[in-house]
Structure 1
Amino acid sequence: MTRDDTEVEIDGVPVLRAPAPDGVCRAGLMFRVGYADETLTQSGITHLVEHLALHGTDLADRRSNGFTSMLDTQFAVTGSEDEVVTFFDTLCGTLSDLPVDRLDTERQLLRAERRSRGGLTVGPMLRERYGAQRHGLPAYQELGLHTVDADALREWAAQWFTRQNAVLWLMGDAVPDKLRLALPDGRRMPAPPAVDLLVETPAYFHEDHDRILCTAVVPRSPAVPVFRRALERLLYRELRENGGYSYAVEVAAEPRGDGYSTVTVAADTVPDRQDAAVGQFLDVMAALRRGRVPAGDVTAALDDARRQVSHPNWAAESLPARALDLLLGQTSGTAEGVLGTTIEDLAGVAREFAGSALLSLPVRRQADWAGFAPVPSGSTHCVVGTRYASRSGTGTELVVGPTGVTACGASGRARTVEYASCAAVVVWPDGGRVLVGDDGFEIAVEPTLFDLDAAALDSLAAVPAQLLVPLPARDPREIPQPAEPAAPAPDQEPDRRGQLRPLVLLLVLALAFAALFGFAAVADQWGGGALGAAGSAAGSGVLIGLIARLKRRDRK
């Protein structure tokens, strides 16, 4: 099966072309740089370059845009050939000379963008698997918006946004003759290595949500997109059609850049059927661990793939994915490879998927019984240093030493961040700070909550300056304060009725006991033990009834 496209170069930049399905010219300039290439202290620097580079390139009706993802940054445009040429002329010029006078404005815009889109759905999954480094960084705030200056932006653009590190894809009848890509020289940048911190898989942890989320890492192959389709069909049938436990099920797969793909599953749950939804999902995972993928789902997935790659628009629609493959020096496989996938191939992908899975489950839903290990919520060691008790009297302690900090909770769980493996330290003018370890553990050090002395502050000052992220002053209401003991109730006039009730109760009890014992004595004298026992029981019933009525009256 052939594609109707050509591969050429413009100014040293490879160009992938295919006919436009609707006759409208579309193009994208993709660079091999993304969030995974940053550090936590500079996170967001690529996003900043993207925003600054687009300044002055906007066409009417929002027909141009930029995107920063895990491994790549892309600038896309839709328009006439002349508009496409003008867009890339302006873009390349701006990348070579960023309008850093707009830096403060773009910082504010990016913070607003972050607030408007909320947190990343799979952010906690990335944090638990990768920590606060490389592939885990999209789970965190873009701290670089507070630290990056104009010089750092220029250096970043010169290193990453070069002709050797770019690929252009274009949907159109031909490459415009006037199209130029005047980018600086550089080199092709390899994908960053992924550092998986999970000690044991499959694993799970809890979040306060009503969904089932799952990520897994599998070797990249032509079978992965087929498995994605088969898994989505399988889960939709089991969770939606058969069980009625979920409304929407989505499965996605994307390259990680190191020869592996990340497969992500997201399924919502009906609130009062969460236990059943989790149980059914885990049953599916158990079958996948044994390499069992229903033959009907395999056939349907292959049919879907066959229709997709046979569609006239396939050559054009696959251009962005092929551009990323070219930048990564990899391939997701030809159409023939995808269609040649066998059930044995899918069985292998299924076992890899289930064996490397990380689940995020609603609170109080367990997966131990299905062979999933809880993700550790604490560190395996503590630093040696001075202990500082919490001013709230909660039993929480900070241990501050020359090598790092450990936070010890009242439950005995400890989290440690060592200075040598610290990703960033967020600091405020009031002295509060948060240490973030490479493993994702965070420790808040608040002078208002702990009696820290000069020695502790000197130790904290030993953190390398390049790890510090100074933030603006906090609103005083945002600064944590120790919990104050509850104030005693104000003095009140004694309730005379409350004082009299015990006396009345005692008097009633005395009379009841007198009646009881008197009746029992007479019964024992005249009628024997049986009647005496009955009399005692009757007297006890009267006594219990009196007490109950008094209590009910006292509550009114």
Structure 2
Amino acid sequence: MSITSLETHTAETSGVRVLWADLPIDPTMTVWFGVGHQDMSPATAGITHLVEHLVMRRLGHVAIPHNAESGMVSTQFYATGTPTRLVDFVERVCEAVTWVRTVTDEDLVLERRTILAEVGLASLYAGADAFSLRYGLRGMGLGAVSHTRLLDWTAAEVRAVAQEWFHAGNAMVVSTTPPPVALTLTLPAGPAPVRARHPETLLPGPSWTRAPGEHVVLSGTMSDSAPEGFRSLAISVLHDVLRGELRTTLGHVYSVEVMAFSLDPEHDLWTVVLDPPPESVCDVVAAACGVLERLATTGPTGEELERTRAGLLEEIELGAGRAGWFDSYASRSVRGITAPSLAEELELLASATPADLRGPVGDLRDSLLVMFPADHDPHETALTSLGNAGAREIDIFAPSTPPTDGRGRSFRGRFFSRARGLVFTLHDDRIVLSSPVDTLTVPLADVVLVGTDRDGDVELVTGRGAHLVVAPSLFRGFRKPFEAILGRIPSTATRYDKQRVMVSADEPVTTAITS
């Protein structure tokens, strides 16, 4: 069988979509659900991870290699083995998914603990990433708060998510061999989801900022103005050219990691993560901007295009390469996104010219977001390159309007505490934290999450993704005025106890995070 003749087949079993292809790898079956963090609200983002763990615990002992994943766009359970074992695995997954609709709060205890061990204490607090900076806490931006309520979710919330998303209408069984005749799927019935278009970006155009982390991150979007095959090839060319420039030629990075997501039928989202040492950050940003501008303006050289094209063609001849393509195809299909066949992609891959890739890379350039490590001050070389790209600095903590009550009331951190040098100012419409190096503003009307721990510390998170942890005990005379200000936060915000449940029999979660 030639690779261009690889066919995908669709069927239906017990009301569930089935997708399969005959691949030269060990037989693998996956139960996919077209739901991930991006489909939730700020209050429930990440709860699909808890559903995944509950299902896997319910399975009991499975005699073949198996695992599960929950991420931004889907939740999946997969195994590799003989047809009889695979049928047993899939049927047990279906039973476990049905059982989740009946879970109790006691059923959640062990899996909360396991997930906390997996993601770490810091994940109980909001973060900032390229997606939340672009979209706020909507769609793909919800990954920044994906476990903030891990210790507060109730069984009722888990059951509601299972009812809405984990059913036959939002499921797909994917197999790398023809599905066994004995396969039956006993998932609860449910309608196919009606998916809204992904939220629009909140960025004003090309932008740059600083955010927690050690890496340089570039991200952008592509529209469907170019065929998907050209868009995929453009991303691969960008990866190869960046790697050649930043690692092979300059020696400034070790890793160039590219990820891409289909947001909806009209848009793709991409991100490139780079790992330069601190002294090379600005040189890497300047060089990356130069590569992006060149590829968007003139396209890759003939040699660059042929090198990437040859590598992709070699990869797809391998069983692992075909399986990777099939996995990507399935991940879009389960969410109702029509994907081209492998033959269609290969036809575009073979015919693409440098000019065909200018448009997709131009989309990336025009929607560019560059993230510097938080403690890095960009120097002139990087700022010039960003300016040439039309990128403006953004600050999600910067106020858009002056306060409604003038100067407000200020409270200084206690002298002999870790809050020394910090000042909180309370206004009728906002909270402002000032330090010797920065000022952070949280508009009360924008707050969507209010989490309180057992020390009385409070995390405030806005829909734009700004977040602040307030420790009232560290500021003189602050607690009562602060509690009064909290009363001004809209009733639509979710208020929760960050440590409502214990992670062990006798000890609550503690954290070193402070304001």
TM-score range, shorter chain: 0.7 to 0.9
Amino acid at match of 1:384: T
Amino acid at match of 1:104: V
**Whole-angstrom CA distance in 2 between matches of 1:119 and 1:345:** 44
Quote the offset at 1:273 in angstroms: 4.1
Is structure 2 residue 144 aligned with structure 1 residue 139?
yes
Match of 1:253 among 247, 250, 260: 260
Alignment-derived partner of residue 366 in structure 2 = 355
Match of 1:342 among 349, 353, 364: 353
**Whole-angstrom CA distance in 1 between matches of 2:283 and 2:484:** 53
Name the SS for the 1:234 alignment partner. Answer: helix
Alignment-derived partner of residue 328 in structure 2 = 321
Alignment-derived partner of residue 410 in structure 2 = 388
**Whole-angstrom CA distance in 2 between matches of 1:211 and 1:410:** 25
**Root-mean-square deviation (CA), in Å?**
3.1
**Whole-angstrom CA distance in 1 between matches of 2:124 and 2:413:** 32
Amino acid at match of 1:433: V
Work out whether residues 128 and 212 of structure 2, in 8 Å CA contact, stay in contact via their aligned partners in 1.
no
What does 1:103-502 correspond to in 2, within 5 Å? 103-115=108-120, 124-140=129-145, 142-172=147-177, 174-191=178-195, 193-207=197-211, 211-220=215-224, 221-257=228-264, 259-270=266-277, 272-309=279-316, 316-334=323-341, 335-337=343-345, 338-339=348-349, 340-362=351-373, 363-366=376-379, 367-370=382-385, 371=387, 372-376=391-395, 377-385=397-405, 386-392=408-414, 394=421, 396-401=423-428, 403-408=429-434, 413-419=439-445, 421-448=446-473, 449-452=475-478, 454=480, 456-463=482-489, 464=491, 467-472=494-499
Work out whether residues 383 and 416 of structure 1, in 8 Å CA contact, stay in contact via their aligned partners in 2.
no
Q: 1:380 to 1:5 in 2, by over 3 A?
A: closer
Amino acid at match of 2:369: L
Q: 1:92 to 1:353 in 2, by over 3 A?
A: same
Quote the offset at 1:21 in angstroms: 1.2
Is structure 2 residue 19 aligned with structure 1 residue 16?
yes
What does 1:517-528 correspond to in 2, within 5 Å? none
**Whole-angstrom CA distance in 2 between matches of 1:238 and 1:214:** 15
Count of equivalent residues? 476
Amino acid at match of 2:431: V
- 1:420-479: CA deviation from partner (whole Å, max 9, x where unpaired): x32201112443312110011123333221533756523413543761121239899959
Match of 1:53 among 55, 80, 97: 55
Give me the TM-score of the superposition, normalised by structure 1. Answer: 0.77
**Whole-angstrom CA distance in 2 between matches of 1:249 and 1:119:** 28
Work out whether residues 383 and 405 of structure 1, in 8 Å CA contact, stay in contact via their aligned partners in 2.
no
- 1:17-45: CA deviation from partner (whole Å, max 9, x where unpaired): 122413x3211111111001122222221
Q: 1:77 to 1:475 in 2, by over 3 A?
A: closer
Quote the offset at 1:159 in angstroms: 0.8
Name the SS for the 1:247 alignment partner. Answer: coil
Work out whether residues 174 and 330 of structure 2, in 8 Å CA contact, stay in contact via their aligned partners in 1.
yes
Answer with 1 or 2: which has the greater Rg. Answer: 1
Amino acid at match of 1:85: V
Name the SS for the 2:289 alignment partner. Answer: helix
Moved more, 472-481 or 186-195: 472-481
Instruction: Indicate the structure whose relative CO is greater, using CA pairs within 8 Å and at least 6 residues apart.
Output: 2
Name the SS for the 2:484 alignment partner. Answer: helix
- 1:342-386: CA deviation from partner (whole Å, max 9, x where unpaired): 322210011111111111234123433122321225221244354
**Whole-angstrom CA distance in 1 between matches of 2:188 and 2:22:** 29
**Whole-angstrom CA distance in 2 between matches of 1:215 and 1:184:** 38
Name the SS for the 1:144 alignment partner. Answer: coil
Is structure 2 residue 72 aligned with structure 1 residue 70?
yes
Amino acid at match of 2:238: L
Amino acid at match of 1:162: H
Quote the offset at 1:49 in angstroms: 0.8
Quote the offset at 1:310 in angstroms: 5.0
**Whole-angstrom CA distance in 2 between matches of 1:219 and 1:476:** 44
Name the SS for the 1:328 alignment partner. Answer: coil
**Whole-angstrom CA distance in 1 between matches of 2:321 and 2:252:** 35
* Aligned residues with identical type, % of pairs: 21
**Whole-angstrom CA distance in 1 between matches of 2:469 and 2:281:** 34
Work out whether residues 27 and 78 of structure 1, in 8 Å CA contact, stay in contact via their aligned partners in 2.
yes
**Whole-angstrom CA distance in 2 between matches of 1:425 and 1:342:** 52
Quote the offset at 1:226 in angstroms: 0.7
Give me the TM-score of the superposition, normalised by structure 2. Answer: 0.83
Work out whether residues 124 and 498 of structure 2, in 8 Å CA contact, stay in contact via their aligned partners in 1.
no
